[in-house]
Amino acid sequence: MTTMTLFHSPLSPFVRKVMVLLHETGQQDRVALQAVNISPVTGDDQLDLDNPIGKIPALRLQDGTVLHDSRVICEYLDQQHVGNPLIPREGSARWRRLTLASQADAIMDSAVSSRYESFLRPEDKRWDGWLEAQAGKIRRSLANLEQEHLAELTSVFDIAAIGVACALGYLDLRQPAFGWRERQPGLAAWYAEVSKRPSLAATAPMA
């Protein structure tokens, strides 16, 4: 039975994290999806009422409470099922996995901001230096994941792995020529494997 409403777009990597977590924890039937088509300059009235910052994902609970952003929603939903937590509840594992998840979110932030810069901003106002700086952040983060964290990512499919997979899926969607697979073959092999999971297959973004 659906008891919650998720403001949703199939192209948002932040929304996808929530959707993957719902699938992985068997909760997808509890959430109704409310489609929104927004950008920083074109909002959605209903969304703005529920989330004054006008971003997705936002999750309306049965009692009308609204949760945002994706980190808060994932934490909430992870505490609503009885299986193994996808976000460790305590100890050093919690801070490790949340920091990796934060690195994945930061890759998405840079990629989304590049998308807005290169697609939304009027052409005469675009700033190549901005795009190059964002690309540098993404390249350094992916190299660091490959060199330092591949074993950790492979060890368990949790909030950190979900975040990295959604970040890579979004890069493929919006910057298919970014060429990360050539630079990070280990990450590419990991991603090819986890992409077979039903949760990722069911939520793959389609432009």
Q: Give me the least distance between CB of 111 and ligand 99T, in Å please.
A: 8
Whole-angstrom Cα distance, residue 90 to residue 93?
7
Whole-angstrom Cα distance, residue 124 to residue 122?
6
* Closer CB to ligand 99T, 14 or 146, in the complex: 14
Q: Which two tokens stand for residue 136?
A: 């540098």
Question: Nearest 5 degrees, angle CA 24-CA 107-CA 21?
Answer: 10
Q: Give me the least distance between CB of 189 and ligand 99T, in Å please.
A: 26
Amino acid, single-letter form, for residue 147: Q
Helices 159-174 and 185-194 pack at an angle, to 10 degrees, of 100
Q: Give me the least distance between CB of 39 and ligand 99T, in Å please.
A: 6
* Closer CB to ligand 99T, 97 or 174, in the complex: 174
* Closer CB to ligand 99T, 59 or 142, in the complex: 59
Strands of the chain, DSSP E: 4-8, 31-35, 58-60, 66-67
Q: Give me the least distance between CB of 11 and ligand 99T, in Å please.
A: 5
Q: Give me the least distance between CB of 136 and ligand 99T, in Å please.
A: 20
* Closer CB to ligand 99T, 47 or 200, in the complex: 47
Reduce the DSSP state of residue 59 to 3 states and report it: strand
Please report, as ranges, the residues that interact with ligand 99T according to CB under 6 A. 11-12, 14, 38-40, 54-57, 69-71, 105, 112, 115, 174
Rounded alpha-carbon distances, angstroms, from residue 66 to 4, 51, 97, 161: 10, 7, 25, 26
* Closer CB to ligand 99T, 57 or 169, in the complex: 57
Q: Give me the least distance between CB of 107 and ligand 99T, in Å please.
A: 12
* Closer CB to ligand 99T, 14 or 191, in the complex: 14
Peptide bond into 40 cis (omega under 30): no
